[in-house]
C-alpha cells in the first residue's frame, strides 16, 4: 500500500522564522480572501444567467452566446503564467490587487460593449485580468500562514468563489427581464467593485521573505521544473481537469434536462439550481478540517465518492432526488477542489508556489472549457444516463490518477522540501 500524503501542522525552524498574523490580522485575511473570490467570480459567471436574453438582443445563436463564457475562461487559462511572472516583480498582494480591480472594470466594460465582437474581446481580457487571483491566492496565503490556518484561509477563498459564482448567476438572471441583460450585468459589476475595494483595504501586506528574493533572481523555467518535480503535485495537475470538466458538464446541461419533459420547469425556476452552490461553500470549509487528519488522498476519496453517489441519485426523473443528488455532487466537488488548492500551496517548493498554482489553474480551466463541453456530447446523443456514465468513468480515471502512489517506507527520511513544509510525503 502507498503511504498517505498528510499535511502535518508542525513548527520546523524554517516555518517558525516566517512572519505570522495575530488574531485580528487572520480575520482580516479571511474576509479579504472571501471578498476577492466574490469580486472576481461573480462577474466571470454572471453571463450564464442572461445567455437567452443576450442571444436575442444581439441576434446570435445560443452557441455563439455561450462563447462569452468560453472567451473569459480561455483568457484566464492563457494568462496564469504571465501573472505568476508579474507577481515576482510587483509582489503577490500588489499583483492580486491589480488583477481584481482590472477584472471588475473590464467586466463592466463588457456589459456595455456596443457589439457582440467587442463584447467577446472584452470578456477575453476580463478573464486574462482575473487570472491573477486564483494563480496567486494560494502562494499569498502560504506567505502568512502555515498548517491548518493556511488550509482554512484557502478554503475561505474557495468559499468566496462559490458565493461569487452563484450570486452572479442568481442576481443577473432574475434582473435581466427588468433591466435587460446589460443592466443586470452592470449590477453584478457594482457588487464586484464593492468587494474588490474590501479586498484591497483588508488584505495584509506580503512579508519580504528569502523565498521571494530567490524567486526574483530565478527565471521561470527552473521554477516550472521545480513545480513539476513533486510527483504528488503532478497527479493533481492531471486529475483536476477531469474533475472540473465533470462538474461543469453537469451544470452546463442540467438546465436543458429540467426544461424538457418530464420536468418542464420554467427558466426562472431552473436558474435556482445554482442555489446548490451553497453546499460548496459549506463543504469547502470542511475540507480544511479534514485535510490535516486524512491527507490529500483521503479527502479526495471522500469528495469523489460524494460526487459519484450524487450523480447516480440524479439519474431517476424524480425532482427531490435529483436536487439531493446535485447537492451531494456539488459538495463533493468543492471538497476536492479546496483540498487540492490547499495542498498545492503546501507541497510546492517555496520558490515555485506561484508556478505550481499556475499549473493547477491552467488544468482547472482547461477542464472547465474543453471537457465541460465535450462531455455534453454524450447528453446530446444518449441523454442524461449516457452522460452520467461518461462522467462516472471520467471521475474514476481522475481517482486513479490522484490516489495511486508507489509504495514508500514510512521510515524513509523526509527530503528537505517535505521537512520544510511539514509533510509526510508518501506520494513520490
Report pTM.
0.72
Instruction: Let me know if residue 55 belongs to a domain.
Output: yes
What angle in degrees, to the nearest 10, is found between the helix axes of 353-366 and 62-90? 180
Structure confidence by residue, pLDDT tens digits, 318-369 = 999 999 999 999 999 989 998 998 888 788 887 787 788 888 888 988 888 7
In this prediction, residue 267 carries a pLDDT of: 67
DSSP bridge partners of 6: 424
pLDDT band at 4 (very low <50, low <70, confident <90, very high): very low
14 pLDDT higher than 50? no
| DSSP assignment string, 1-62 | -PPP-EE-----HHHHTS----HHHHHHHHHHHHHHHHHHHHHHHGGGGGHHHHHHHHT--H
Domain housing 64: 6-424
* Residue 98 covered by a domain: yes
Q: Worst-scoring range by mean pLDDT, 139-153, 318-332, 368-382?
A: 139-153
What is the chain's Cα-based Rg?
A: 21
Specify the higher pLDDT residue, 173 or 146.
Answer: 173
Mean of the per-residue pLDDT values of the chain:
78
The CATH number of residue 90's host domain is: 1.20.1250.20
Cα 83-152-353 angle, rounded to 5 deg: 30
* Residue 340: all three cell numbers together: 487540492
pLDDT tens digits, 181-207: 899 899 998 888 888 888 888 877 765
Residue 40: inside a domain, yes or no?
Answer: yes
Lowest mean pLDDT among 89-93, 233-237, 292-296, 307-311: 89-93
pLDDT at 392 over 90: yes
Does 266 map to a domain?
yes
What's the structural domain count of the chain?
Answer: 1
> What is the pLDDT, as a whole number, of residue 428?
30
pLDDT computed for residue 18 by the predictor: 47
Is the Cβ–Cβ distance between 299 and 336 less than 8 Å? yes
Closest CA to 417 of 1, 49, 5, 60: 5
Distance CA 135, CA 131 (A): 6
Distance (Å) of CA 13 to CA 17, 214, 290, 419: 6, 19, 25, 10
Residue 230 lies in a domain: yes
pLDDT at 62: 60
Determine the average pLDDT of the residues in 88-98.
79
Has residue 393 been placed in a domain? yes
Torsion of CA 128, 356, 93, 248, to 10 degrees: 50
Residue 1 in domain = no
DSSP assignment of 358-414: HHHHHHHHHIIIIIHHHTHHHHHHHHHHHHHHHHHHHHHHHHHHHH------TTSPP
Task: Tell me, yes or no, whether 320 lies in a domain.
Answer: yes
CA contacts within 13 A on the Cβ side of 374: 14
Give the model confidence (pLDDT) of 77-87 as tens digits.
888 888 877 87
Which pLDDT score, from 0 to 100, does residue 427 have?
Answer: 35
State CA 335 to chain mean position distance.
11
Question: Is residue 130 pLDDT above 60, yes or no?
Answer: yes
- Confidence tier at 426 by pLDDT (50, 70, 90): very low
Amino acid at each position: 500500500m502507498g503511504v498517505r500524503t498528510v499535511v502535518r501542522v508542525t513548527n520546523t525552524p524554517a516555518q517558525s522564522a516566517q512572519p505570522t498574523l495575530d488574531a485580528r490580522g487572520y480575520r482580516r485575511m479571511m474576509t479579504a480572501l472571501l471578498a476577492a473570490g466574490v469580486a472576481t467570480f461573480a462577474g466571470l459567471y454572471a453571463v450564464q444567467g442572461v445567455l437567452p436574453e443576450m442571444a436575442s438582443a444581439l441576434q446570435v445563436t445560443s452557441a455563439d452566446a455561450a462563447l462569452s463564457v468560453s472567451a473569459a475562461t480561455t483568457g484566464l487559462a492563457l494568462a496564469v503564467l504571465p501573472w505568476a511572472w508579474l507577481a515576482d516583480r510587483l509582489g503577490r498582494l500588489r499583483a492580486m490587487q491589480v488583477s481584481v480591480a482590472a477584472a471588475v472594470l473590464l467586466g463592466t466594460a463588457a456589459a456595455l460593449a456596443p457589439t457582440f465582437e467587442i463584447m467577446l474581446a472584452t470578456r477575453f481580457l476580463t478573464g486574462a485580468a482575473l487570472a491573477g487571483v486564483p494563480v496567486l491566492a494560494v502562494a499569498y496565503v502560504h506567505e502568512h500562514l502555515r498548517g491548518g490556518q493556511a488550509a482554512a484561509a484557502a478554503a475561505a477563498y474557495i468559499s468566496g468563489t462559490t458565493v461569487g459564482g452563484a450570486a452572479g448567476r442568481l442576481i443577473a438572471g432574475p434582473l435581466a427581464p427588468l433591466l435587460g441583460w446589460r443592466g443586470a450585468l452592470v449590477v453584478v459589476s457594482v457588487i464586484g467593485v464593492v468587494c474588490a475595494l474590501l479586498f484591497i483595504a483588508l488584505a495584509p501586506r506580503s512579508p519580504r521573505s528569502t523565498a521571494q528574493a530567490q524567486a526574483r533572481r530565478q527565471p521561470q523555467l527552473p521554477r516550472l521544473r521545480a513545480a513539476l518535480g513533486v510527483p504528488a503535485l503532478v497527479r493533481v495537475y492531471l486529475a483536476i481537469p477531469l474533475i472540473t470538466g465533470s462538474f461543469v458538464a453537469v451544470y452546463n446541461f442540467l438546465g436543458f434536462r429540467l426544461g424538457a419533459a418530464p420536468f418542464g420547469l420554467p427558466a426562472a425556476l431552473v436558474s435556482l439550481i445554482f442555489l446548490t452552490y451553497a453546499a460548496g461553500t459549506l463543504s469547502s470549509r470542511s475540507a480544511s478540517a479534514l485535510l490535516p487528519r486524512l491527507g490529500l488522498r483521503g479527502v479526495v476519496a471522500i469528495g469523489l465518492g460524494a460526487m459519484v453517489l450524487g450523480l447516480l441519485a440524479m439519474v431517476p426523473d424524480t425532482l427531490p432526488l435529483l436536487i439531493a443528488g446535485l447537492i451531494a455532487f456539488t459538495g463533493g466537488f468543492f471538497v476536492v477542489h479546496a483540498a487540492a488548492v490547499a495542498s498545492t500551496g503546501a507541497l510546492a517548493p517555496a520558490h515555485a508556489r506561484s508556478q505550481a498554482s499556475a499549473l493547477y489553474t491552467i488544468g482547472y480551466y482547461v477542464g472547465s472549457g474543453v471537457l465541460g463541453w465535450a462531455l455534453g456530447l454524450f447528453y446530446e446523443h444518449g441523454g442524461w444516463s449516457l452522460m452520467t456514465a461518461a462522467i462516472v468513468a471520467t471521475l474514476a480515471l481522475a481517482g486513479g490518477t490522484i490516489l495511486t502512489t508507489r509504495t514508500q517506507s514510512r521510515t524513509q527520511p523526509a527530503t528537505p522540501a517535505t521537512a520544510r513544509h511539514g509533510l509526510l510525503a508518501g506520494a513520490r
